[in-house]
Structure 1
Amino acid sequence: MSVLEGPGGAARTDGRAYRLLLLVPRTEWAYRPRLAATAFVIVTQVFLYVLLWRALYGESGERVVGLDMDQAITYSVLATLMGTGRVIMEGASQETAQSKIRDGSVVFWFVRPLSARRYCAWRGLGESLYATLWLLVGLVVGVVCGLVALPPSGPAAAVTVLAYALGQVVFYQIALLVDLTSFWTITSFGVNRLVAFAQLLLSGGLVPLWFFPEGLRAVAGHLPFAATINVPVSLYTGRIDAAEGWPYLAEQALWCVLLAALSRLVWRRAARRLLVLGG
């Protein structure tokens, strides 16, 4: 609680914090060309994946690493909607530590009645919900166009929803930790590029992890990146059976806890070394 809060101030502030959920959607709506650009990038990437998988499978109809062509296309469409859409929208509101440190306004994160950690958490929740809206729209369009198959069963759909929610928490925590490095590096551009590449490759967003060499697949499958895309999409496509998905969900939950604890520690250290306007 800030020293500026009065009695009941925290309750009043938290009661209004839900408004931060609309921060990213309102920013996107204010800059409407971004909506068209995001849609264009996603559609183009999906189109190229469809051409790629159809060319690789040809007319044989054979299964590769346990996947048929329809499952492979479904995987790539969903991975694109989950990964590309989320990465494009990260930082859309410019309410990031890197941008705030650059102009000095980061000081307001630490003097508001709402703590900086809660402020970013509410904003991140809104960002996640907005990305989920894009996913749902893309999913409906994909099903209607025959590019996305429906999940194999009701339990598979239910477990996928849970895995997706946990994956979004991991997504947020990874992005937050990268952003918080700005307190030590002034700019997190280099770290962003490195983590973005790792996220794209090791999450299965570029190529399904099942096509990786066995050793790399074994390692990548237990990293937090895989929890964001590979696990929920694998459950949706049936590559991981719903009845056997609980160990994966448990691993996702473990990453959520570990990353949350690490981000809490980094928040405390960041607040202690905050330098603004030379003081």
Structure 2
Amino acid sequence: MTPDHSAPRAYRLLFLVPRAEWAYRPRIAVTAFVIVTQVFLYVLLWRALYASSDAPVVGLDERQAVTYSVLATLLGTGRVVMEGASQETAQSKIRDGSVVFWFVRPLSARRYCAWRGAGESLYATLWLLAGLAVGVACGLVALPPSWAAVAVTVPAYLLGQVLLYQIGLLVDLTSFWTVTSFGVNRLVAFAQLLLSGGLVPLWFFPGWFRETAGHLPFAATVNVPVSLYTGRVTPGESWPYLAEAGLWCVALGLLGRLVWRRAARRLLVLGG
């Protein structure tokens, strides 16, 4: 393979998704509408559940429960809407045959997707920060209990973003072996929503389910950083969660490199 002479300019891929979103500005309004609607419904739900008693449920009081759901919605919905917004998925590229350009550019396909994924994460982070600011201003989101909680929430969030990218990448790369990745996408999207705590906090599930889901990479994308932010998990208890998330990043990263190598040797474009 030729040397990667375009690497110094690869950072421009960070702006691929923001530019695509800006080109289709109504999509930004739709994303905001979806997030606001979900947050509104979650607030109504938790306030109704805690209306009869102010006693904490599984260690969460009403303010923590609302904060958890608002942040989980921002983490989950914002990222899901952003993913694939640029139409640069392997599935779409294989269908029109342009996937070949991934493998003939000076920049390797793996690095190209990594830069693009970093741009998606940064853009989703902007949605998270904007939603967090609005939530705090409106009194829906509580501030972290301490600066120590912030210090462990930030690396947990970054690890979660890496895992979201790696999981999405592995699902996307199945397109090299399947006619369509629609079924795999639906299955993983459901697993992500349920096992990450994005739908319902994992603390409300039975112990066996909570323990199993807690050791899967999905939990590190939503449940861990939000639990650290809300104080449900203290900074002193955070290190096992961070270490496990780091191990998953390494494991999925190695698996991703292997799949990339195999995908480069097996390219199926409309049966040709």
Task: Bin the TM-score by the shorter chain.
Answer: over 0.9
Question: 1:60 Cα shift?
Answer: 1.9
C-alpha distance in structure 2 between counterparts of 1:170 and 1:274, whole Å = 25
Alignment of 1:263-274 (within 5 A): 263-274=256-267
CA distance in 1, matches of 2:47, 2:262: 50
How far is 1:170 from its partner?
A: 0.3
Alignment of 1:61-210 (within 5 A): 61-210=54-203
TM-score normalised per structure 2 = 0.98
Task: Give the AA of the match of 2:81.
Answer: I
Q: Indicate whether 1:254 and 2:238 are aligned.
A: no
| Equivalent of 2:235 in 221, 229, 242 | 242
Normalised by the length of structure 1, the TM-score is 0.96
Whole-Å separation in 2 of the counterparts to 1:180 and 1:278 = 17
1:275 to partner: Cα distance: 2.8
> Residue 42 of structure 1 contacts residue 81 of structure 1 at CA under 8 Å; is this kept in 2?
yes
The one-character-per-residue Cα deviations of 1:168-227 (angstroms, maximum 9, x if unpaired) are: 000000000000000001311000000000000000000000001111111000000001
Q: State the AA in 2 paired with 1:148.
A: V
Describe the SS at the equivalent of 1:181.
Answer: helix
Cα RMSD over matched residues? 0.9
Runs of 4 or more off by more than 6 Å in structure 1?
none
2:10 to 17, 35, 38: 17
Q: Secondary structure at the match of 1:101?
A: helix
Q: Cα deviation per residue 1:147-178 (whole Å; 9 max; x = unaligned)?
A: 00000000101110110000000000000000
Give the residue type in structure 2 aligned to 1:150: L
What is the CA-CA distance between 1:244 and the residue it aligns to?
1.2
What is the distance in 2 between the residues matched to 1:142 and 1:158?
Answer: 20
Whether contact under 8 Å (1:101, 1:186) holds in the other structure is: no
Q: For this pair of structures, how many residues does the alignment match?
A: 272
- Cα deviation for residue 59 of structure 1 reads 4.6
User: Is 2:199 the partner of 1:232?
Assistant: no
The separation in 2 between residues aligned to 1:14 and 1:181, in whole angstroms, is: 27
Looking at structure 1, the residues matched to 190 and 249 of structure 2 have their Cα atoms a distance apart, in angstroms, of 21
Partner of 2:48: 55
- Measure the CA separation in 2 of the matches of 1:30 and 1:217: 42
2:205 to 177, 191, 212: 212
Structure 1 pair 94–126 and aligned structure 2 pair: CA distance change class (3 A): same
Verify the 8 A CA contact 1:107 1:276 in the aligned structure 2. Answer: no
Q: Distance in 2 between matches of 1:219 and 1:48?
A: 28
Indicate how the Cα distance of structure 1 residues 23 and 13 shifts in structure 2: closer, same or farther if over 3 A, else same.
same
Gap regions ≥5 residues in structure 2: none
Aligned partner of residue 218 in structure 2, secondary structure: helix
**Could you tell me which residue of structure 1 aligns to residue 19 of structure 2?**
26
Provide the rounded CA distance (Å) in 1 between the counterparts of 2:267 and 2:241: 38
* AA in 2 matched with 1:151: P
8 Å CA contact retained: 2:136, 2:142? yes
